[in-house]
Structure formats: structure tokens, C-alpha cells
A and B are shown apart, each in its own frame.
Chain A
Amino acid sequence: MENPVIDLKGLTKCYGSLKAVDDLNLKVEKGEIFGLLGPNGAGKTTTILMMLGLTEPTSGKALVCGIDATTNPILVKRKVGYMPDSVGFYENMTALENLVYTGKLNGVPGNEAHRRGLDLLDLVGLGDSANKRTSVFSRGMKQRLGLAEVLIKRPEVIILDEPTLGIDPAGVKEFLDLIRQLSREQGLTVLLSSHHLHQVQMVCDRVGIFAAGKMQMEGNIHKLSQALFADDSYSVSITVREPLPASWEHSDGLRNIRDVQGLRITENLVQIACSPDATPDIVRFFVAKGLDVMGVHKREFGLDEIYQKYFDNHLIEHNADEKSRSIFKRYINKK
């Protein structure tokens, strides 16, 4: 990466003795969609605030578009659109008025801001509500309006903090599609924080798992899955027409295929763990043995598993977990 759009160098933020963000290094390239994942209180929002110069890092540097966000926040804010996790609007103003106000604050002249505002409201699916006061808006509508507001200044980078909160499932898909489309067609760099793993998986080029103030892992999902599930990255399930006996005569033959590490047979379903991907060999084996293959399903490990496995392996939060478990037990016993 030669010219990262977002470049965090040793970013640290302490609140008293608590280290909210601890020596964070991160580079995000132009046009990339980066997902910042982490449990509550991991320091995601604090990191974002430091990127916008809304809070000062204790040490380290946050460079956005090559500009130091701490010393030159105004320049950064011209180029970055930020949508906070709980986005609020002036309730006595209409959606369009809110947008036009933001536009004007960014130096867009009034009539141009008006035009852009209307276009953007159409884009996010709020075209019919342009002249409604935002006090009647639902959470999801506000979230959509938030995206329009981010785009009205035509930013180079957009930072979205929990962008899909409160949007209905269909809306989430549209929302994420739009973000991806913007990134692909306009070269927009996107950084989004979330704990909705599926959604992050849908749009992000790269993700970083962020916990206890540190970037624990970063890379694309494929890479993360390889790193964590080095033993059994792939799981192939094959369904055959006839149930197989428990002691199947070909099971040894199947095991002998290169890369196959284990298998389990339950009636007509054969589950095979392999690394790397050996699906074609396995299918060929079944066909050669004259079995009727009804279905082949390859399961790649998703973010859910990665996330789960990660926190199982590292027990980052094991103290907190234990505590809550014991509280839970006490509560149950009392009942």
C-alpha cells in the first residue's frame, strides 16, 4: 500500500487508567471497504472519533487523506463523511432542510444543495418524505437520511458507525448494496464498524477484529478463515440417494484422497473435512464408486465462525464472561 487513505500509526487513547485504544496501526487503501468488527466497548467509536479529530489521541497519529486529523480536523472533515451510531436530526426541520443545512455548512451553495438533497433522498428511498419533519421519522428512516447527509458533501472517505442499526432486512440489503456500489463506481473509501457479522461479510473487502483496544487480526475473510481454521478450513457435505452402512467399505479409500482429514457418515450424508479444498476429488471418487450423488454442499467458514473461534481461542473476554455467567447463575438460583 503506497498511499493509504486512512493511516493510523500507533494510535492510543487512554481514559484515566483505562486504555480504550492501544497502539493501533491500520492502513486502508483508496476504494476499499474495511469492516471494523468488535464487541461492545472495544474502542471502535473512540478510534473513529480520533480519525475525525473529535477527540485527541493520547499518543500516535491518525492520518486521513494524508492530513493529520488531530492538528487539522477541518481539512479532514471536508473530505470525510461520518455517520454516528445514533444519528439525530433537527426535529423542527424537514428532511430536505436538514440535508441542505449540512450541504451549506460544507460550502455547497443553497440551490445546488437543494438539488443534491432531493437527488440523494431519492437515492436512499426517502423521496416521498423529503418535506416531512424528521421528528416523525423512524429509526431506520433516520439512518437512511444519515447516509444521504454523509453523501451530500461528496466525500472521499465515508465512515459509518453501526450503519445498519434499526433498518429492516430488505433495507439493510439495499443499504449495503448502495455502499458497495458507491465504493466501486466512485472509488469511495469506506470504513464501517459493526457487530453484525453477516452484513460486514456481505460488503467488506477486508475486516479487522478489534477487541480490548487492539487490532487482533486483519485481512480478508478468506485469509482470516485460513489463519484460524488451518486444520479444517473446508467442510464438504455430500448427500447420496441410498443410506450408507456405518462401516462403509469405501471409507478408507475416501480417507486416502490427498488433503482429506476426516469424515463422518450419518445415513445418506457424508461430511468430509479437508484442507485445502478437495471437493472435485471427492466428487470424482463418489462418481467412480457408482453412487448417486444428490447434492454437494461446500461450507466455507464465515465471519460468525471466525469471530466465535477467535474469541474462544483467545478468551479475550473470559473474565467478563465468567462474571456475567455467575451473576446469571445467582439470579436463576434465587428464582
Chain B
Amino acid sequence: MPMKSLAAFSKGTSIKSELAADSTTTFRVVVDKEMTDHIRSWRLILLLALLALTFFGALYVSLNNIRSVVSNAQDPDSTFLYLKLLTSTDGAMPPFHVFLNFLGPLLGIALGFDAINSEQNNGTLIRLMAQPVYRDNLILAKSASALILVGTLFFTLVLLMIGAGLYITGVLIEPVEVLRIFTFTVVAVVYVGFWLSLSILFSIAFKQTATSALAAIGVWLFFTVFYQIVVNLAVAAFIPRQTIQTEAEMVGYNEMVLNILRLAPSQLFSDATTTLLMPSVRSLGPMTMEQMAGAIPSPLPFTESLMVVCPQLSGLLAATFLCFAYSYYLFMRREIRS
């Protein structure tokens, strides 16, 4: 290596690092880089294709039988054309928000399962950690970049849906529908965020990317397939049906089962989305006849629906933060070697 070009090094001032990057700029630099990585990756393209396919499939089905749904006078929600577009179906295919219940975790896991351990395996983590970057900023930047992508994706899809609805039906959208749909999108992003933070946690806890991916998929499968079965079995074993005598006991029993089921994030998500997209849903638990007496089946105002889903939303957020806090705890004092 020649003597000639040492000037490259000394050009400008002395070698003193005159530039002190603060933590927000490094955070943005990492977010920029992570987003570029995601966008360039095949992984995101595949996920995007999958999501777009289900979205347009669901939209096509609901557009096909939107006429019959909207003209159904029995349904108190029939005036909300755009909500119907998202939720109605002919039975052959589940509506989009139910699909999202499955796809959301997949999206979150796919974007986060190798966040830290792949960097460690490639020997880039130690290099990164030798730069003036706070460790928590790294985890935060990783999840932020994935969430920005997911958020953009969901909002794009939803806006496409509204646009298509306007174009095809010519019906103006109600402001309350916009609010409900956007809140639904936010809930969906939070739901993906939970799975993202869980998979980032696994990517810190496990050294191998395959292990962390499997662990995250295992949790997802457990909650979508087995959790309900396990809960029903366990509850039936501990409280036999025969012991239930009164109606109040029955209500209490159902309430309890439902509450245990709500430990699963997918249950929280489906509760929240159902309430938001179907304004006539006024309670998520069992209701007695006395409570129902005198109630006119009519849609709830937006704020009331929001009140109903508030616990669900906070539950999801709390679970997300819990995962995040634990990843932070694991990562902060870990010794990083190449």
C-alpha cells in the first residue's frame, strides 16, 4: 500500500473526530439502513405478495356480494358500506381482518426473527457495537424500521380499498368509517408489532436463526391452534359442567373461559377488530337478558366502540412492551464476541 495516498486520511483537519453524532442521528442511520435491507430482500417481496393476494381476494369476494349485504335491512350495520367491504364474505373465504389474524404474526416473525443473531453470526454485530451506537437504539431501530414498513403497507392497502370502493360503488365514505378503518389499521400494526418484538426477543435469546424462527412459529402455532383446545380441556377438567346450576354461574363460567382465552394475542386482536369493524357489537363478553332488555340493535358511536376495545389494545401494547423490555434486558449487558 503506497505512501502516496495517505493524504486521504489526513485531509481536512487532524484526525480528531470533530463530529459527535448524537443518538438520534445514529438511530436514523440504522433505521434507514434496515429499511433498505428489508426493501431489497426477497423475504419482504414474498410477504408482500402473500398479503396483497389475500387482501385483493377478500376484497373481490366482498365486492361481489356487497349489494345483498347492504340491502339487508335486518343488519344494523348495513349502512356502513366500507366496513362491510372489509368484513362481509360469502362464506367461501374468510374476510380480510380474520386473515390478518393469521398473517400478522407471520409478517412480524418474518421481519424480526433474525434481527440480532444473523448479525452476530455474520460478524457484523461486533463491528456495529464498536461504533458509537447505543445498544437499545439498535433494537429500537430494528423494530421501528419493520413497523414503519408494515404500517406503510397496511395504510396503503386500506387506502387502496377505500379508493376501489369509491370508484366501484360511487358511495361517499362516512368520516366515522374512515376513523374506524384507520383505528383498525393501527390495531393491526400494533398486533404485528407484538409478534415482531417477540421474534426480536427470540433473535437475541437464541444464537441460531433457525432456532429463533422455530421458537416464534411455535408460539404462534400454539396460540392459534392449541391454546383454545388446551383451555377448554383444562377448564372442563377443573369445573365440570354439571356443577353449574344457575344462570349467573353459567355467565361467570363463560366469562372466565373468555378471559383466559384473552391471554392469547390473536384473541385480543380479533376482539378489537370485530368491535371496530362491526359497530353494532356492544360487548365482548356474555350478556344477560336484563342487560339486553330495551336495547335497540343499533350501531355504537365510534368513541363507545373505542372504549370497548381499549382493554384489548392496552393488552396488546403491554405484551409488546414486555417483550421489548426483556430483549433490552438480555441485550444490554451481553458480551458480544465475533
Residue ranges of A at the interface with B (Cβ–Cβ < 8 Å):
45, 49, 52, 54-56, 74-75, 77-82, 84-92, 101-102, 104-109, 116, 119-120, 122-125, 149, 151, 153-156, 174-175, 177-178, 181-182, 185-188
Tell me whether B11 and A119 are in contact (CB under 8 A). Answer: yes
Choice from A79, A88, A119, A125 contacting B338 with Cβ under 8 Å: A88
Cβ of B312 to closest chain A Cβ, rounded Å: 38
> Which residues from chain A contact B310 at a C-beta distance below 8 Å?
none
Cβ of B271 to closest chain A Cβ, rounded Å: 40
CB-based nearest A residue for B13: A154
Q: Which of B24-32, B157-165, B299-307 contacts A (4 or more CB under 8 A)?
A: B24-32
| Cα separation A74 to B22 with both chains bound (whole Å) | 10
Choice from A49, A105, A175 contacting B133 with Cβ under 8 Å: A105
Tell me whether A77 and B9 are in contact (CB under 8 A). Answer: no
Tell me whether A185 and B127 are in contact (CB under 8 A). Answer: no
Q: Which of B118-126, B173-181, B187-195, B215-223 contacts A (4 or more CB under 8 A)?
A: B118-126
Choice from A55, A79, A119 contacting B5 with Cβ under 8 Å: A119
Contact with A along B37-72 (1 / 0, CB 8 A): 100110000000000000000000000000000000
Tell me whether A106 and B9 are in contact (CB under 8 A). Answer: no
Tell me whether B37 and A154 are in contact (CB under 8 A). Answer: no
> Which residues from chain B contact A151 at a C-beta distance below 8 Å?
9
Known: A78-B20, A149-B127. 15 other contacts (CB 8 A): A54-B129, A77-B130, A79-B17, A82-B127, A84-B123, A84-B127, A84-B130, A88-B338, A92-B37, A101-B33, A106-B17, A106-B21, A107-B21, A116-B8, A187-B15
Tell me whether B30 and A105 are in contact (CB under 8 A). Answer: yes
| Cα separation A224 to B173 with both chains bound (whole Å) | 85
> Which residues from chain A contact B22 at a C-beta distance below 8 Å?
107
Tell me whether A186 and B130 are in contact (CB under 8 A). Answer: no
A-B contact pairs, 10 of them (CB 8 A): A54-B129, A80-B130, A89-B124, A105-B26, A106-B21, A106-B132, A149-B127, A151-B9, A153-B17, A182-B9
| Cα separation A104 to B31 with both chains bound (whole Å) | 12
CB-based nearest A residue for B124: A88
Tell me whether B9 and A186 are in contact (CB under 8 A). Answer: yes
Tell me whether B25 and A107 are in contact (CB under 8 A). Answer: yes
Tell me whether B21 and A86 are in contact (CB under 8 A). Answer: no
Cβ of A71 to closest chain B Cβ, rounded Å: 13
A156 with B5, Cβ < 8 A, contacts A87-B127, A104-B29, A105-B132 known: no
Tell me whether A54 and B127 are in contact (CB under 8 A). Answer: no
Residue B19 interfacial (CB < 8 Å):
yes
Tell me whether A88 and B123 are in contact (CB under 8 A). Answer: yes
Tell me whether A154 and B9 are in contact (CB under 8 A). Answer: yes
| Cα separation A171 to B134 with both chains bound (whole Å) | 35
CB-based nearest A residue for B129: A54
CB-based nearest A residue for B333: A56
Tell me whether B130 and A82 are in contact (CB under 8 A). Answer: yes
CB-based nearest B residue for A91: B122
Residue ranges of B at the interface with A (Cβ–Cβ < 8 Å):
1, 3, 5-6, 8-11, 14-17, 19-22, 25-26, 29-30, 33, 37, 40-41, 122-124, 126-134, 333, 335-338
CB-based nearest B residue for A175: B1
Tell me whether B9 and A74 are in contact (CB under 8 A). Answer: no
| Cα separation A120 to B6 with both chains bound (whole Å) | 9
Tell me whether A52 and B19 are in contact (CB under 8 A). Answer: no
Tell me whether A174 and B17 are in contact (CB under 8 A). Answer: no
Choice from B8, B25, B30 contacting A119 with Cβ under 8 Å: B8
Closest 4 CB pairs of A and B: A88-B123, A107-B21, A119-B8, A174-B1
Choice from B1, B20, B29 contacting A123 with Cβ under 8 Å: B1
Choice from A74, A81, A154, A178 contacting B1 with Cβ under 8 Å: A178
Cβ of B244 to closest chain A Cβ, rounded Å: 55
Cβ of A189 to closest chain B Cβ, rounded Å: 11
Tell me whether B122 and A88 are in contact (CB under 8 A). Answer: yes
| Cα separation A156 to B41 with both chains bound (whole Å) | 37
Choice from A84, A89, A107, A181 contacting B19 with Cβ under 8 Å: A107
* Residue in B3, B5, B131 with the greatest tally of chain A CB atoms within 10 Å: B131
> Which residues from chain B contact A74 at a C-beta distance below 8 Å?
132-134
Tell me whether A155 and B1 are in contact (CB under 8 A). Answer: no
> Which residues from chain B contact A177 at a C-beta distance below 8 Å?
1
Cβ of A117 to closest chain B Cβ, rounded Å: 10
Cβ of B336 to closest chain A Cβ, rounded Å: 6
Tell me whether B9 and A123 are in contact (CB under 8 A). Answer: yes
| Cα separation A116 to B122 with both chains bound (whole Å) | 25
CB-based nearest B residue for A109: B19
CB-based nearest A residue for B19: A107
CB-based nearest B residue for A188: B15
> Which residues from chain A contact B14 at a C-beta distance below 8 Å?
186
| Cα separation A79 to B20 with both chains bound (whole Å) | 10
> Which residues from chain B contact A102 at a C-beta distance below 8 Å?
127, 131
* Residue in A88, A89, A188 with the greatest tally of chain B CB atoms within 10 Å: A88
| Cα separation A84 to B128 with both chains bound (whole Å) | 11
> Which residues from chain B contact A122 at a C-beta distance below 8 Å?
5, 8
| Cα separation A75 to B134 with both chains bound (whole Å) | 11
> Which residues from chain B contact A175 at a C-beta distance below 8 Å?
1
Tell me whether B130 and A107 are in contact (CB under 8 A). Answer: no
| Cα separation A125 to B129 with both chains bound (whole Å) | 26
A84 with B338, Cβ < 8 A, contacts A105-B26, A105-B131, A122-B8 known: yes
Tell me whether B21 and A182 are in contact (CB under 8 A). Answer: no
> Which residues from chain A contact B122 at a C-beta distance below 8 Å?
88-91
> Which residues from chain B contact A109 at a C-beta distance below 8 Å?
19
A88 with B127, Cβ < 8 A, contacts A54-B335, A74-B134, A154-B16 known: yes
